[in-house]
Structure 1
Amino acid sequence: MITSPLEQFSIISIIPFHIGNYYFSFTNSALYLVLASLAASLLFHFVTAEGGFIIPRRWQSLVEMIYEFAASLVQEQIGEKGKKYFPLVFTLFVYLLFTNLIGMIPYSFTSTSHFAVTFGLSFSFFFGITIVGFLHHGLHFFSFLLPKGAPLILAPLLVVLELVSYCFRAISLGVRLFANMFAGHTLVKILSGFAWTMLSIGGFLTVASVLPFAVVFALVGLEIGVACLQAYVFTILICIYLNDSINLH
């Protein structure tokens, strides 16, 4: 029986819960989001439980590397004013990293391959960053809609374009993360299904199935890299948007 490559993205209700027409069931997507949070929390807890070691061990070195990486992002993209937002940026990066990597485990679920998760994150940060802009600059924050030195005659057009561009950030953040995770996992599933079909037929195709299996293993390695890269891209874009709101140009 040939299954669809898209079956891996099916939302399955684990604990059904309804209130009238509203659906609040605990699903497999929510489960893996919780598992990602628990995995990250446990790792950081056990590494820091004894105060760490002077000579870092393997896991402590990994945690310190992630910490320093997130700190350098904040420092380079936002500057001194961004230090108080470091916990938020650090948590976001670790959360996305663990969620994406857990999705690479066979027979697991990739929560970031769904609109609801990625759009929920992107829109939440979009509104939060907008609030930060108003807290820092008040109504002067609206000045970003009209680039400095632009002719007044073009103001109506530029304001509309800048507003659309600004609002589109929330959509582009969610689409970028969702599309990359969705497309990569779909491709791996298609090629692995093709390789398994060749192996099952027998004869010459069994021998020839070595090639698609090799491609699948290479793609899995590539997808692990993409999982890390997409966590980085999402986080650095949030840092850039925070910088635009804090250090208004």
Structure 2
Amino acid sequence: MLNFYNNSPLEQFKIKKVFNLGTPFFDISITNSAIFIFLAVGFVLTLFVVSLYKSYIIPQKWQSIAELCYEFIYNNFVMEIIGKRGDNLFPLILTLFFFIFSCNLIGMVPYTFTPTSHIIITFSLSMTFFLGFTLNGIRLHGFKFFNLFIPHGAPLVLVPFLIVFEIISYVVRVFSLAIRLFANLTAGHSLTKILAGFAWQMLLYGGTVTLLSIIPIAIIFAVVILELGVAFLQAYVFTVLTCIYIKDTIYLH
């Protein structure tokens, strides 16, 4: 236990091979990150399958929870942001929100791993959705899609410069989505680890210092509660911004 708290706060983010399945040509080993991604997916699937396995007209407790989740995502993301034309995207938006939220929550359990604290995971998510809604916009509008990069009513002489800025702004969305999610979770977990190590050292010191350790312990509890809120908030923000970007490619404004 002492060695655990003496480790670097960044030790918790280290990706480790759990099952070595490497070949001479490529490495398909199962890592701790992959395991907790599977756990997050399994948790969400289990929640909804169990909740809706036997549906009733008058919902029971678990069915009510599942229906509230559906209603929350549909009303707050699909209808409010995208509109009726986003109905067919509802399953995708639902999956995105609960995947990120479950990954964030699982990472709050001691000795687990937070997949969304790695930028390769968050960047893969943002890049996948970026390519998806861009290609969907081109499919819907053809060459008219590129009107998205020409501000309405802009002076003709400024159009070439504005197009460059608009394209840069459009591409930056990928990085802003990825960095926001990864940075917030990494910072929060690192702070929690630093405070935990500090409190542990004070407990070991003995005497008056041990009594004073209640201060960092109290701060840890406050940070953990804050991190639970951040776990939800970051999933919410990522999904909201994704819906806004999808709306832009559907309506071109």
Which band: TM-score by shorter chain? over 0.9
Aligned to 1:149: 153
- 1:9: Cα distance to partner? 0.4
Aligned to 1:66: 69
The answer as to 2:173 corresponding to 1:172 is no
Aligned to 2:82: 78
**1:212-236 deviation line (CA, Å, top 9, x unaligned):** 0000011001000000110100001
Count of equivalent residues: 248
Query: 3-state SS of the aligned residue for 1:23?
Result: coil
Query: 3-state SS of the aligned residue for 1:14?
Result: strand
Separation of aligned partners in 2, 1:171 and 1:122:
8
Separation of aligned partners in 2, 1:3 and 1:201:
18
Separation of aligned partners in 1, 2:164 and 2:59:
56
**1:156-210 deviation line (CA, Å, top 9, x unaligned):** 1101000000000011100000001100000000001101110110000110000
- AA partner of residue 147 (structure 2): S
Aligned to 1:136: 140
Query: 3-state SS of the aligned residue for 1:236?
Result: helix
Which among 3, 8, 11 is matched to residue 4 of structure 1? 8
1:186-197 maps to which residues of 2 (within 5 A)? 186-197=190-201
- AA partner of residue 13 (structure 2): F
Identity %: 49
Separation of aligned partners in 1, 2:114 and 2:63:
26
Aligned to 2:28: 24
The answer as to 2:227 corresponding to 1:234 is no
Bigger shift: 22-31 or 201-210? 22-31
Separation of aligned partners in 1, 2:220 and 2:121:
27
- 1:135: Cα distance to partner? 1.2
Aligned Cα root-mean-square deviation (Å): 1.1
Separation of aligned partners in 2, 1:216 and 1:116:
28
**1:48-67 deviation line (CA, Å, top 9, x unaligned):** 1111461431x333222211
- AA partner of residue 66 (structure 2): V
Which among 112, 115, 122 is matched to residue 119 of structure 2? 115
Separation of aligned partners in 2, 1:200 and 1:182:
27
- AA partner of residue 67 (structure 1): Y
- AA partner of residue 221 (structure 2): F
TM-score, normalised to structure 2, is 0.95
- AA partner of residue 70 (structure 1): I
Separation of aligned partners in 2, 1:154 and 1:20:
55
**1:109-157 deviation line (CA, Å, top 9, x unaligned):** 0000001110000000000010111111111100111101001101111
Query: 3-state SS of the aligned residue for 1:39?
Result: helix
Aligned to 2:186: 182
Separation of aligned partners in 2, 1:74 and 1:55:
23
Aligned to 2:228: 224
Separation of aligned partners in 2, 1:209 and 1:52:
52
- AA partner of residue 100 (structure 2): L
- The answer to whether the Cα contact below 8 Å between 2:55 and 2:63 also exists between their aligned partners in 1 is no
Aligned to 1:35: 39
Separation of aligned partners in 1, 2:93 and 2:8:
37
Separation of aligned partners in 2, 1:60 and 1:181:
31
Bigger shift: 63-72 or 126-135? 63-72
Structure 2: gaps of 5 or more residues: none
Structure 1: gaps of 5 or more residues: none
